[in-house]
Chains A and B, each alone.
Chain A
């Protein structure tokens, strides 16, 4: 039996040895993250079949829950940690060749810390521990956004830091209020005791928690930092921020609403916020000329769609939301990775500078195009089954407002198609003066890109591969009682 603690302990330990070993041999810095994340991927995949029946509960330092900090490796946690490790591994292979300038060993250390924080957030069963891992994730991402030390990077990092720090203070106040009422920090224990509290006394901590987590999850009124931060970070970091950081924030929002509060009446508001986020993101993306900003706004749109799907809160809806989350992670990471080398060769972030790239960098542009088709939701790719599930789930509720909202979501998809196909048209069908010396991306970048392409196509053609996992993850998120029983066990 593999212990889920290793998923956090190994990358955390290795991250702190990087600057030490880099003193003796500089190259060890860039080979450590792939090793650590490869290990995490293997452990997560080994754990995945075992957690289907019963989640693995790990109590740190031998006390029983709720008196200890515990890890809950259920289907949701292990699914997320597998995705984090997979995307992290592929992006770290890409970074072997992509990150050349600056203090590279610091880049690799912070990169590994960011992913450790993300893994910790999805595995922990203690709400203060969740806050701590969240801060690990946030602080490393503030620093990584500023990694290039250029004007745009520093400015966006400052904005991101201020908004993120206020968000985490609100989160901490919410945690304090919950502790004051229930005298416990264990999420299952709080969830069990919450029925005895008055709704008014719960409303304030819930709003504080969701606002605090919503800053990192980029839910609409709180996402002003996202387009700046995602567009001025190095492309490999943009891929991780768009593919993992905001998804982890969204996971935390879902965990707080579903498991801790079981807030049914709040869900319609979240669904509405999701659609507003979606429409605003897509409309802003439509008017961008900067390709990375366009991708960042499109991430906001996708987050809105995922939030909407999760807020439907039927088992179809949550399955669809998680499927859409997986598909967005794979497609958006691929798009940022491909865009990284296209920008590097074009020397500009403008979409018009990419004219005729399709002939010069055929493989990179092919990968980019497949990412675009998948994100818009064209059939043979993963985006199609995920969007289809979301729409079906919304229609299956037979509620008028969900049907209206899903209509708006489809409108958002049309806008998304419009601006993404414009980029594809620029890549392939506009002549332009192209520098003849441009070569395709190096092999170390093409391998991870085409593994993403392979995953997108294979899962898109045969979605059964992951729907079983997603179904049991969805039932874990929705099944409060089972979660409480699994964690507290004999105490109940």
Chain B
């Protein structure tokens, strides 16, 4: 059980990443694929956060007395995740606006039916 307790965040993060990849690879509907991208992004963000996380840790503010540096959470991954979330939002917004255009052209969002371009 201690393995589960120690690595639960990593397991959750990679679970989300695999679910996202599965949706992207298998689903035919573009909106579902975009949802898959969102889940994949969330998984990656959770993974980044859990790298720096310490159970019962606090923010690394050195001016506050009485906090050991062992219990300080690494702030760098949190800064990375803020950036990654913003990038993810931009990509999802662009993907959804492209989905609207795609529907206007083809009348369907089924990616298996939209096959004008091929090798």
Given contacts A152-B116, A176-B48, is CB(A162)–CB(B33) below 8 Å? yes
A-B interface, 9 closest residue pairs, ranked by CB to CB distance from nearest: A180-B51, A228-B117, A154-B101, A151-B105, A135-B87, A176-B48, A172-B44, A169-B40, A158-B98
A139 within 8 Å of B by Cβ? Answer: yes
Tell me the complex Cα distance, A183–B51, Å: 10
Chain A residues within CB distance 8 Å of chain B: 128, 132, 135, 139, 142-143, 146, 149-152, 154-159, 161-162, 165-166, 168-169, 172-173, 175-176, 179-180, 183, 185, 224, 227-228, 231-232, 284
Tell me the complex Cα distance, A159–B33, Å: 11
User: Which parts of B90-115 form the interface with A (CB within 8 Å)?
Assistant: 90-91, 94-95, 98-99, 101-102, 105-106, 111, 114
B3 within 8 Å of A by Cβ? Answer: no
Given contacts A132-B83, A169-B40, A172-B84, is CB(A151)–CB(B116) below 8 Å? yes
Does the CB pair B117–A162 fall under 8 Å? no
Whole-angstrom distance from the CB of A403 to the nearest CB of chain B? 31
Does the CB pair A146–B76 fall under 8 Å? no
Whole-angstrom distance from the CB of A159 to the nearest CB of chain B? 8
Given contacts A128-B80, A155-B114, A162-B24, is CB(A146)–CB(B44) below 8 Å? no
Whole-angstrom distance from the CB of B66 to the nearest CB of chain A? 25
Does the CB pair B21–A143 fall under 8 Å? no
Tell me the complex Cα distance, A344–B115, Å: 25
Report chain A residues within 8 Å CB of B30: 158
B62 within 8 Å of A by Cβ? Answer: no
Does the CB pair A161–B98 fall under 8 Å? yes
Tell me the complex Cα distance, A165–B117, Å: 20
Residue in B20, B51, B98 whose Cβ sees the most chain A Cβ within 10 Å: B98
User: Which parts of B58-83 form the interface with A (CB within 8 Å)?
Assistant: 74, 76-77, 80, 83
Does the CB pair A155–B117 fall under 8 Å? yes
Interface range for B: 35 or more
Tell me the complex Cα distance, A284–B117, Å: 14
Does the CB pair A162–B37 fall under 8 Å? yes
Whole-angstrom distance from the CB of A317 to the nearest CB of chain B? 31
Which of A179, A183, A284 is close to B119, meaning CB atoms less than 8 Å apart?
Answer: A284
Report chain B residues within 8 Å CB of A224: 119
Whole-angstrom distance from the CB of A307 to the nearest CB of chain B? 20
Does the CB pair A146–B40 fall under 8 Å? no
Whole-angstrom distance from the CB of A227 to the nearest CB of chain B? 7
Tell me the complex Cα distance, A284–B114, Å: 21
Smallest Cβ-Cβ distance to A128: which chain B residue: B80
Report chain A residues within 8 Å CB of B101: 146, 149, 154
Whole-angstrom distance from the CB of B43 to the nearest CB of chain A? 8
Does the CB pair A142–B51 fall under 8 Å? no
Tell me the complex Cα distance, A371–B114, Å: 34
A–B Cβ pairs within 8 angstroms, 25 of them: A128-B83, A135-B87, A139-B87, A139-B94, A146-B98, A150-B105, A154-B101, A154-B102, A155-B102, A155-B116, A155-B117, A158-B95, A162-B37, A165-B91, A168-B87, A172-B84, A173-B17, A176-B44, A176-B51, A176-B80, A179-B51, A179-B76, A179-B80, A227-B119, A231-B117
Smallest Cβ-Cβ distance to A288: which chain B residue: B119
Report chain A residues within 8 Å CB of B98: 142, 146, 154, 157-158, 161
Whole-angstrom distance from the CB of A5 to the nearest CB of chain B? 19
Report chain A residues within 8 Å CB of B111: 158
Contact with A along B6-38 (1 / 0, CB 8 A): 000000000001001100100000100100010
Report chain B residues within 8 Å CB of A173: 17, 44, 47
Report chain A residues within 8 Å CB of B94: 139, 142-143, 161
Smallest Cβ-Cβ distance to A142: which chain B residue: B94
Does the CB pair A232–B95 fall under 8 Å? no
Tell me the complex Cα distance, A231–B80, Å: 35
Smallest Cβ-Cβ distance to A136: which chain B residue: B87
Given contacts A151-B106, A173-B47, is CB(A179)–CB(B77) below 8 Å? yes
Does the CB pair B40–A166 fall under 8 Å? yes
Residue in A132, A173, A224, A231 whose Cβ sees the most chain B Cβ within 10 Å: A173
Tell me the complex Cα distance, A294–B101, Å: 27
Tell me the complex Cα distance, A152–B17, Å: 30
Given contacts A152-B116, A161-B94, A284-B119, is CB(A176)–CB(B47) below 8 Å? yes
Tell me the complex Cα distance, A228–B21, Å: 22
Tell me the complex Cα distance, A99–B62, Å: 55
Tell me the complex Cα distance, A158–B108, Å: 14
Tell me the complex Cα distance, A267–B76, Å: 32
Does the CB pair A166–B21 fall under 8 Å? yes
Report chain B residues within 8 Å CB of A156: 117
Tell me the complex Cα distance, A135–B80, Å: 14
Report chain B residues within 8 Å CB of A180: 51
Tell me the complex Cα distance, A168–B83, Å: 13
Whole-angstrom distance from the CB of A370 to the nearest CB of chain B? 29
Report chain A residues within 8 Å CB of B76: 179, 185
Whole-angstrom distance from the CB of B75 to the nearest CB of chain A? 12
Whole-angstrom distance from the CB of A113 to the nearest CB of chain B? 12
